[in-house]
Amino acid sequence: MSAWTDLGDGVFVRQSRCCQMNSTVVIHDGNAIVFDPGVLPSELSDLAAFVERRAPRFENTTLVFTHPHWDHVLGKPWFPLAATVAHVGFGDEVDRDAAEIEASTKKWVESEGEAWPRPFEAFTPALTLRGTIGVRIGGREMLVYDVPGHSPSQIACYFPDIGLFVAGDTLSDIEIPWLDGPPWVYRRSLQALHWVFEQEQVKHLVPGHGSVAHGRTDSYKRLLRDIDYLLHLEGEVGNAFTLGASLEETQDRLAKMSYVGKDAAYSMNDVHRANVKFAFDGLREQAEMRQDGRTKET
């Protein structure tokens, strides 16, 4: 099976063997926009050759990084003259996590039978973005949304002309919302995206991992499913917390929940368990703050 999917309108998706990570390429008028070029060295060479055939001038290529996790940030050396775009917080986050990115890269790339050819170098993108904003890159209008919850500096991008939504690590069919803090932050990001699916004619949704969703209805269903998961998680953790359960008891209790990727080959079991901890810690912090407030009043 080819790693490439042609979505029409100059949009191509290349799926990695590693974690089913997607790199999206948008070709328009001799320009190329490449989202999250990755993951394995052989795949990056294939990606670079593909782009070079369609956008032969190196300087007409723009790399967009949806967020600074290891599997999304490796491609820059394969596109040495390309412009780089990411969230304003990306540079600091990638700099802070460089050692961890290097270690994860080595581990995963070697487990796929390849060698990583160079040390990972943190970088600051040439163009940084924040908030909901429209930019013109590669000859196309692109709307950018802040979607924290999985990483503080994650963005999702929408091309209104061609109905393409590049979701970063949200709205996957093989991953649950993968939290890096309290669930409400992620839920608020999804609520903001609600308007994209409500108002725009989304033709394709490309998640960071897994299959492309086609059409507004299928895309919207992923959004509703992820909000449902988060509400369920928060509700169940809240019940356990109120009853005085410990974190471990809460995790054991919530292991019974059904969710995407439960017991799958690409398993979400550990992610779900970690999500329970983020929800639990959020409640504990709130309770401590309330306690502090009461102590100050008395």
Site residues for Zn ion per CB under 5 A: 69, 169
Contact between residue 249 and residue 277 where contact means Cβ atoms under 8 Å apart: no
Q: Whose Cβ is closer to Zn ion: residue 83's or residue 271's?
A: 271
Q: Whose Cβ is closer to Zn ion: residue 146's or residue 169's?
A: 169
* Minimum separation from the CB atom of position 108 to Zn ion (A): 13
The helix-helix angle for 183-199 and 269-297 (nearest 10°) equals: 110
How many CB atoms lie under 10 A from the CB of residue 64?
27
Q: Which residues of 4-26 are buried (b: 16+ CB within 10 A; e: fewer)?
A: ebebebbbbbbbbebbbbbbbbb
Q: Whose Cβ is closer to Zn ion: residue 60's or residue 146's?
A: 146
* Minimum separation from the CB atom of position 154 to Zn ion (A): 8
* Minimum separation from the CB atom of position 272 to Zn ion (A): 16
* Minimum separation from the CB atom of position 66 to Zn ion (A): 8
Q: Which amino acid is at 34?
A: V
The helix-helix angle for 269-297 and 247-254 (nearest 10°) equals: 140
Q: Whose Cβ is closer to Zn ion: residue 69's or residue 187's?
A: 69
What stretch of H or E contains 61? strand 61-64
Q: Whose Cβ is closer to Zn ion: residue 69's or residue 204's?
A: 69
State the greatest distance between any 2 C-alpha atoms of the chain, in Å, as a whole number: 72
* Minimum separation from the CB atom of position 92 to Zn ion (A): 16
